[in-house]
Structure 1
C-alpha cells in the first residue's frame, strides 16, 4: 500500500498526526527514524507565522532526515493563510496541511480549526488561496462535521478537491464530541466515495486491530495515528508492517526502550535548552513508562526533577532496575 500526494509517494500508508505540544522536531525525527510514511508539524497559527514569533519559528524547525514532512497551518483569513503557506514553502516544507479539525475552544472561538466546517464558503476561499499560493501539495484535515446534525465532511471534501487539495484526512468525530465517544470510522467511507484524492482515516487507532478495522470500515487509503503514538514512537511502524503483510513487530526490549528515551531526552534538551527541555521531556517520559512496574512512583520523581542531570539519572536508575528484574 502506498499513498500519493501530488508528486510525493509515501512508502507506507501510515501518517503521524499533528499534535500540539507533541509533534515537535525531536519527536517527529524519532518516529520517522523508526518508520512512518509522513510526519506533520504541530498546528501553527498563520498569524503567528507571519509575525515570525520565536515560539512559532521553533515549532517549524525541521531536519533533512524527517522529510517528507508537512507543516500544518490554522487560520480564518485567506490572505494570511496564503502568506503563511508561502513562507513555509520557502523554509522547506514539502506539504502544507490546512487544519479544519481542531476542536479546542480558543481555536474555534477564533473561527479557525473545526469552526470553518460551519462556513463552507469561507473554507473554500481559504483552501483556494492556500493552494494558489504554493507549488507544493496542499492537504486538508477535518472532522466529520460540527455536530451530529451537520456532518458535512463529504460535501466539504468535494469542495476541497475542486480547489486543488491533494489528500484529505478525516477524524471520525464531530467537533462537539471533542475526544469523547468513539470515532466513527464507517462514516469516513462517505468521504472516500465523494472524492478521488487519497483519504486518510484518523481517530482511536491504538492497536493493530484498530488500524485494520478502520481501513475495513472506511475504505480509506491510509491511517493517521495520534495519541496511539504517545510513549510508543515505534507503534506507527508496527502498524505499517502489519497492514503490509500481517507482520507482527515486537515492542523494543526494555533496554532498547531505555536507549530510545535517553536519545529522545537528549534531543529535546538540545532543541529547547535545559529549562524548557526538562519540562517538555517530563510528559514524554511519563508516557514511555506507562504500564511498567512501579511507574507511578517513577513519574512522580521525574516530575520533581528540576534539571537534566537529575532527570537522566532517574531514567537510568529506573530502566536498569527493570532490565535486571
Structure 2
C-alpha cells in the first residue's frame, strides 16, 4: 500500500487524530502521535481572533514536535477574513491548514461558520481559494454530510473545495442536525470519494480497529479520522494501524501503562498552562481513561474534583483500589509502561 500523502507530506499512517475543541491541546496531540496518529490538528481557532492578533487564541497553535505532521484548524464564514487569518499565522510552525466546515456548535453556526457553510458550496470554494492564496502550506477541509436531511451537500461542497485547491477532505458522516447521535452514513463517504481525486478520510463512530477496517472497505476512503474514540485510549491508533496495514494486533496496555499515560498527559498540561487553567480541563480528559474500568462511575466523581496536580495520584490510587476490590490483579507490569 502506497503511503498516504498530503500534497508533498507523507503521512506515517492512515489513521489520523481529528480536532476537538477543549481536548486537542499539545499534550493530547503528542500522546496520539506517539501511538501512531498519522497527523494531528489543533483545536479550532477563530479567523477573526487571528486577524485581530488575539494572543490567547495564538497560544492554541503552539506546535510541539511529536513525530507526525501537525495542522492548524481555522473557522469563519468570510473568505477574505479567512485569507487574512491564514496570512497572520504564516510565521508559525505547522505543516498544513485545515478549514472547519463541520462544527455543529450553536455559537459557531449562528455566525454562519462551521457546518452552516455546507448550505453554500460556492462559499466553501471561495473560502478555500482565499486561504490558499495566503499560505504556502497545503490546505485541508473537514466537513459533514450536510446541514440536515434536506440538504445533503457533502459531494457538492467537496467538489468545490477540490476545485479551489484543497489537498485532502475529511467527511464526518452525519448532518449537522444529527450532531453526534449514534449511527453514521458510510454511503456519503463513498460518494465523496467517487466525486473527487484528492485523498478522502472517513470520520465518525470509530471505536475499534474493526470499525476502521469496515469504513475503509465499504467506502474506499483513503484513511480514517478518529477523534472522541481515542480520548483516554491512544492505543486505538496502534490497533487501527495494525488492522489497516495487515500487521499483527498489538498487545493491549495494562493498567499501569494506562495510568502512566494519564499522569504524563496531565503533567504536561500543567507544565504548559499552569495548574489553574490545566486542572479543570484535565477533569474531562481523565474521565475518558475510566472507560471500561470497574467502579467507573465512582471514579468519574474523583475526576470531577481534580484541582491540583497531586490530586491525580489520589485518582490513580482509587483506580487501582477499585480494580483490586473487583478481584482483578492490576499490578501486572509485563508491558513497558508509557514513558
User: What range describes the TM-score normalised by the shorter chain of this pair?
Assistant: over 0.9
Contact 2:284 2:303 in 1 (8 A): no
Tell me if the contact between 2:200 and 2:221 (Cα under 8 Å) persists in the aligned partners: yes
Change (3 A) 1:144 1:305: closer
Q: Tell whether the 8 Å contact from 2:182 to 2:205 is kept in structure 1 after alignment.
A: no
In the superposition, the TM-score normalised over structure 2's length comes to 0.91
Match of 1:312 in 2: 312
Contact 1:238–1:248 (Cα < 8 Å) also in 2: yes
| 1:212 corresponds to | 213
Distance in 2 of aligned mates of 1:324 and 1:122: 56
Q: Deviations over 1:106-165 (max 9, x none)?
A: 111100011111122222211110111111100111011111222121122111111110
1:40 and 1:70 in contact (8 A); partners too: yes
Alignment deviations for residues 278-313 of structure 1 (CA, whole Å, 9 cap, x no partner): 11111111110122122222221232233222x123
CA-CA distance at 1:324 after TM superposition: 4.2
Asked if structure 1 preserves the Cα contact closer than 8 Å seen for 2:256 and 2:331, the reply is no
The alpha-carbon distance between structure 1 residues 183 and 53, as it changes in their structure 2 partners (threshold 3 A), is same
- Per the TM alignment, residue 66 of structure 1 is displaced from its structure 2 partner at its CA by 4.7
Could you give the per-residue CA deviations for residues 239-279 of structure 1, whole angstroms, max 9, x where no partner exists? 11111015212321111112111111100111110111111
Paired residue for 1:242?
A: 243
Question: Is residue 254–residue 319 contact of structure 1 (8 Å, CA) maintained in 2?
Answer: no
- Give 1:149's aligned residue: 150
For residues 66 and 282 of structure 1, the distance between their equivalents in structure 2, rounded to whole angstroms, comes to 27
1:43 paired residue number: 44
After superposition, residues 126-205 of structure 1 pair within 5 angstroms as 126-205=127-206
Alignment of 1:63-74 (within 5 A): 63-74=64-75
Q: Superposition pairs for residues 20-59 of structure 1, below 5 Å? A: 20-59=21-60
Residue 87 of structure 1: CA displacement? Answer: 2.6
In 1, are the aligned partners of 2:12 and 2:68 still within 8 Å (CA)?
no
CA distance in 2, matches of 1:275, 1:244: 42
Deviation of the 1:320 alpha carbon: 4.3
State the partner residue of 1:15.
16
Question: Does the aligned pair in 1 maintain the 2:202–2:215 contact within 8 Å?
Answer: yes
| 8 Å CA contact 1:255, 1:319 repeated in 2 | no
Q: 1:315 Cα shift?
A: 3.0
Asked whether the 8 Å contact 1:138–1:166 carries over to 2, the reply is yes
CA distance in 2, matches of 1:306, 1:196: 49
CA contact (8 A) 2:22 2:43 kept: yes
Aligned-pair CA distance for 1:67? 4.1
Secondary structure at 2:45 match in 1: strand
Distance 2:58 2:147 in 1: 31
Count of residue correspondences: 324
5+ long unaligned stretches in structure 1: none
